[in-house]
């Protein structure tokens, strides 16, 4: 599978990370001496499946940061959903596109290739990465993530997805709601209906039920892809995350 990738890097540094860096945009916060976005782009470029990369964010600042010259950069809009629309408009519309956030500096090319290989052979319009709590805690003990307990296991959402551009455009209002509620599983389940809130609270909701309900409501098929790589989900949005990521990157063997 060959794909073009869209990296969402438009968030301003106005949250908890402002206490550790005065950089204006989150994607440019230094991580072990390099802008955070560089690690994500580097992993995507090293993937055997990624043919082209579009980064959506502060164009002049990103280009000045030293991104590779063959990476396309587009100015960001006012929200994550705006940036998703901007990025997807710049990739081929006749095939699936890989979407990643710019705040997952632990991402590796192996994680990207594994996710894409798991998507092959599964017919869907949107493929969303998730990671089990066991996999997260085995690789990164003590990592703090928002988890949802389902019949299939306990999972956290990943920060990469494979999507059909035209489907994202058609479902933009619902996607905007889901993005706004992504840190609150109970609120997110409200999009599915009261029955699903009750089943979630009693740990009786399954991945298959969620996928079927999404298809019923929106008319497209979305599937969850369980990744064994926690790196697809560990984003940096608070000082503790930054400390964990920096320690992990320093512990990685240097490339030969």
Q: Which residue has the tokens 């512990």?
A: 251
pLDDT at 184 over 90: no
Q: How far is Cα of residue 215 from the mean position of the Cα atoms in its chain?
A: 21
Write down the pLDDT at residue 256.
46
User: Rounded mean pLDDT of 16-38?
Assistant: 96
Q: How far is Cα of residue 98 from the mean position of the Cα atoms in its chain?
A: 10
Domain 3-249: homologous superfamily in CATH: Spore Coat Polysaccharide Biosynthesis Protein SpsA; Chain A (3.90.550.10)
SS3 100: strand
Alpha carbon separation from 206 to 72, 150, 153 (Å, rounded)? 39, 5, 9
What is the C-alpha R_g of the chain? 18
The mean predicted confidence, pLDDT, of the chain is 89
Give the residue, 171 or 45, on which the prediction is more confident. Answer: 45
The pLDDT tens digits for 82-134 are 999 999 999 999 999 999 999 999 999 999 999 999 999 899 999 999 999 99
pTM over 0.85: yes
């Amino acid at each position: 599978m060959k794909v073009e990738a869209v990296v969402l890097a438009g968030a301003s540094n106005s949250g908890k990370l402002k206490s550790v860096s005065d950089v204006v945009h989150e994607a440019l916060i230094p991580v072990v001496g390099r802008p955070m976005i560089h690690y994500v782009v580097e992993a995507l470029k090293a993937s055997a499946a990624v043919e082209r990369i579009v980064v959506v964010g502060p164009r002049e600042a990103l280009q000045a940061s030293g991104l590779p010259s063959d990476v396309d950069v587009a100015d960001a809009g006012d929200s994550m959903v705006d940036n998703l629309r901007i990025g997807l408009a710049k990739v081929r519309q006749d095939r699936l596109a890989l979407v990643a956030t710019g705040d997952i500096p632990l991402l590796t090319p192996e994680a990207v290739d594994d996710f894409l290989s798991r998507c092959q052979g599964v017919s869907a319009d949107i493929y969303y990465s998730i990671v089990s709590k066991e996999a997260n805690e085995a690789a990164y003990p003590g990592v703090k993530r928002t988890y949802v307990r389902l019949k299939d296991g306990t999972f956290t959402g990943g920060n990469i997805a494979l999507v059909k551009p035209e489907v994202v455009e058609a479902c933009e209002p619902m996607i905007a709601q889901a993005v706004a509620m992504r840190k609150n599983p109970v609120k997110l389940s409200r999009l599915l209906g009261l029955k699903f809130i009750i089943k979630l609270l009693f740990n009786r909701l399954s991945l298959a039920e969620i996928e079927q309900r999404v298809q019923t409501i929106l008319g497209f098929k979305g599937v969850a892809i369980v990744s064994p790589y926690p790196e697809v989900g560990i984003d940096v949005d608070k000082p503790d995350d930054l400390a964990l990521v920096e320690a992990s990157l320093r512990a990685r063997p240097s490339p030969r």
